[in-house]
Amino acid sequence: MQKEIQEFLKMINGSTELCLMIAKDEQELLVVQQEVGNVGFQQSKNLREIFNGIKNGSKIYFTLGDTLGNNIYNVLAQYSTGQVTAHDGQSNLVANPDYAKGAVLILITKENLKKIEQGEKSLLNLVGLTWQK
């Protein structure tokens, strides 16, 4: 699996879309997190960190639970459109993705993805390259 993940991570270089990795369960999710961390992806834990990661052209990953909040959705929905704006509660912010350098990877378990897709917002509509074992 380690090799598969590494192959996938090589493919997402330069992608103008969000990329998704679906783990079959929490245990596999931990393995995936470790692997993406090993190849230099930084973990983002909240909206501000995602936003700053995009702004700085970093390779980041974000682990989604079973809900897709409005603010996160707002940012993710914009990623492939060439610009991301958001309001952080204090002011309007703007980031221009650097697709050549940066990348945004969403990690999620299969079960959580199912729950999200049953709700009002679709994560699958927002993402491009997707991995699952």
Partner 1 sequence: MTMETQKFGESGFAEKAKTSIAEREQSIAYLGVELPKGGGGEFCPKKENYKQYKNQKFYLQLQQKIATSWKMDEPMLIEGGTSIGKTTTVRKMCADLGYEVYYTNLNGATDVEDLMGRYVPNADRKNSNEPEYKWTDGPVTAGLRQAGEKIRVIILDEYNSANPNIIIRLHEVLDELEKNGEVVLAEDASERVKVNKTKTKIIALTNPPGKGYLDRQPLDPAQLRRWNYQKEATELSKDTFSGSVDMLFGLKPEIEEMPDEEFLFSNDAEIPIEELKEIPGMKELVEKYKEFHQASKELLKNRKIAQDQPQAFTYDDRMEPQRVLKFIQHFYRGDINVVWKKALRYFYVNKLENETDKQKLLEIIDAIEYVAPVESRRKGFEREIPQAISEPVEKREGLSGTLAEQIKNAKEILGEEFFIGPEDVEETFGFKLNFKDIPQIPFSVEEIELHQKRGDMLVLNLDKTPDGELLTIEMMSTKAINVLGGNIIERDAKGDPNKYLLYTNQFDENGKVKSSAWFSGEAEISKQTPKAGWQFVSPEILPPSISKDAISQIEVLMENAKSDFFSGKFPVEHAEAEKEFQSKKDEIRRLMSENKYVESSKLISELKISQLLSEPVQNAIFRYLVSYKKGKQLFVDGKYMRSMCGASSDGGLLLFGDADSSGALVNGDDPDSSYVSLGAVSSRF
Query: Does residue 96 bind partner 1 (CB under 8 A)?
Result: yes
Footprint (CB under 8 A) of partner 1, residues 51-70: 70
Query: Does residue 91 bind partner 1 (CB under 8 A)?
Result: yes
Q: Residue 125's closest CA among 94, 92, 82, 79? A: 79
Q: Which of 40, 82, 101, 114 binds partner 1 (CB under 8 A)?
A: 82
- Surface-to-core class of residue 93, CB atoms within 10 Å of its CB (0-12 exposed, 13-18 middle, 19+ buried): middle
Q: Listing from the earlier edge strand, what are the strands of the sheet with 103-109?
A: 42-43, 59-63, 103-109, 18-23, 127-132
Residue 76: how many CA atoms within 13 Å on its side-chain side?
27
Q: Which of 99, 115, 129, 130 binds partner 1 (CB under 8 A)?
A: 99
H-assigned helices in 59-129: 70-78, 110-118
Q: Which stretch binds partner 1 (CB under 8 A): 28-36, 51-59, 73-81, 103-111?
A: 73-81
CB 123 within 8 Å of CB 113: yes
Please report how close the Cβ of residue 78 comes to partner 1 at its closest, in angstroms: 6
* Binding residues for partner 1, total number by CB under 8 A: 23
Task: Mark residues 100-129: x for contact with partner 1 by CB under 8 A, - for none.
Answer: --------------------xx---x----
User: Contact residues for partner 1 (CB under 8 A)?
Assistant: 16, 70, 73-74, 77-78, 80-83, 85, 87, 89-92, 94, 96-97, 99, 120-121, 125
